[in-house]
Amino acid sequence: MNKIIFLFFVFNVIVGCSFNDKSKIWNKEDTKTKDNKNLKVVFKETKEILKELNPSLKLNFTNLNLNKDISDNLNHTGILNYSGNLKEKKSFNFSNFKDINQLNYKPLFLKDGLIFFDNKGSIIRFSENGDVIWKKNYYSKSEKKLNPKLAMALKGDRLIVVDNVSKFYTINVKSGELIWSKRNTHPFNSEIKTIYNKFFAVDYKNVLRCFKIDDGKECWKVRTDESFTVSNIKFSLIISKDVIIFSNSVGDLTAVDISTGLIIWQLPTHSSAILKETFTLKTSKIVSDNKDIFFSNNKNQFYSIDLDNGISNWKNEINSNLTPIITNEFILTVSQNGFLFTIEKETGNIIKINNLYKNLSNKEKEKLVPVGIIIVNNFLYLTNNNGSLMIVNLKSGNIVKEKKISRDIISEPFIHNDHLFIISKNSIKRFY
């Protein structure tokens, strides 16, 4: 009984102290003062640039070199050539993608046609005229219900495929016949890059995996920090100087030796401590000119990174997850609110900002989101989530033409053999 009385007395003392305003235990004012002294801001609300800068500045893009290879390992499209007038020549049709809010896929362009996939994971090889040469599906009935999303790459006569249902396989590009098929421990969520007899892809657990093209045997793997949630962005990879560099869902950039799988350098660019950040983080593809790496995200961060050592050259506050375009001396990107940025490549100085949505109503602006950009001769082609294509004169910064491609979301634009290609939910539209 004495012990019970004693415990009751101790409890009353603790409770009394805890809720006593003058007590040092749970004193709100004192705690607040101490917290403020040691407070460290981990997540800072982004402040987007919402005004133009030198909008009438005349820049000369006419003497820039054309890039004839749009599928290299640097993701460097550069300046492309297209002499057409946006007349639709042919559609390559497939079964409709359902319940999709982004078309971050890319057709595999061939000399005499292209390869793409449909809603059930069927791989289709089209001729130049849009006829189906072969159509193959290597998924079970239950896998088809998951609506596999594929990433593809071509190495010789082998088509390499990874998907979001944990499968990876190769097929003969001429016949469509399966060569080998294997299963990963987790789904893939990245581009594919190839070099020598190897291919590389990143899965949902932020693991970079290296496989042999001949038989699919894993050479090595590199684990990086996981996020708290499954990312809906497609991770990006580049290969330069026998080093593969890749991004992951928490914003890290990692450089790995392709022979050994050893990490050369790693650059954390974003905090993984806050769930809100990783869940909403959207990062652009990483691109390179073989000297530096450029990429951005929707958290107001645009980076230039030294490719050899991972040291930051400069950082700018630009809110964009679109793949930046590198020219001789400039970098161009479009922010999430429709501002076209022209940046000096070496210094990072923003020299021009044009508001591409300035003639739209506030209601139209609220729903409009940029999807992708390319530079064609002296013009920038911008696709938007409302199915529209805007053509911008880079010299003046003004929109010279707008064309409705689809009533729904469309992909970024692609150029191949002097034709413009854009993916919609059920077809790839080709323009001449």
Q: Residue 72: its pLDDT value, please?
A: 81
At 382, which CATH number? 2.40.128.630
Domain identity same for 99 and 109: no
Q: Residue 277: its pLDDT value, please?
A: 61
Q: Residue 231: its pLDDT value, please?
A: 64
- Considering its fold, how many domains does the chain have in total? 3
d(CA 339, CA 291): 27
Q: Residue 233: its pLDDT value, please?
A: 76
* Full domain range(s) for residue 56: 49-104+291-432
**Residue 224 within a domain:** yes
Domain identity same for 100 and 224: no
Q: Residue 230: its pLDDT value, please?
A: 64
Domain identity same for 310 and 356: yes
SS3 104: coil
**Residue 44 within a domain:** no
Q: Residue ranges of the chain with pLDDT lower than 50?
A: 1-45, 69-71, 272-275
Q: In sequence order, what are the residues at sequence separation of 6 or more whose Cβ sits closer than 8 angstroms to the Cβ of residue 185? A: 166, 203, 205
Domain identity same for 256 and 312: no
- Quick check: 134 and 176 in contact, CB under 8 A? yes
At 187, which CATH number? 2.130.10.10
| DSSP state letters, 311-380 | -EEEEE-----SPPEE-SSEEEEE-TTSEEEEEETTT--EEEEEETTTTS-HHHHHH--EEEEEEETTEE
**Residue 59 within a domain:** yes
**Residue 355 within a domain:** yes
What pTM, to 2 d.p., does this model score?
A: 0.85
**Residue 286 within a domain:** no
d(CA 41, CA 52): 29
Q: Report in angstroms the alpha-carbon separations of 260 from 96, 209, 218, 308.
A: 42, 12, 12, 17
The type of residue at 89 is K
Q: Residue 232: its pLDDT value, please?
A: 67
* C-alpha torsion 267→149→162→270, nearest 10: 10
Domain identity same for 124 and 77: no
Domain identity same for 260 and 312: no
Domain identity same for 221 and 300: no
Domain identity same for 141 and 275: yes
Domain identity same for 172 and 275: yes
d(CA 147, CA 236): 22
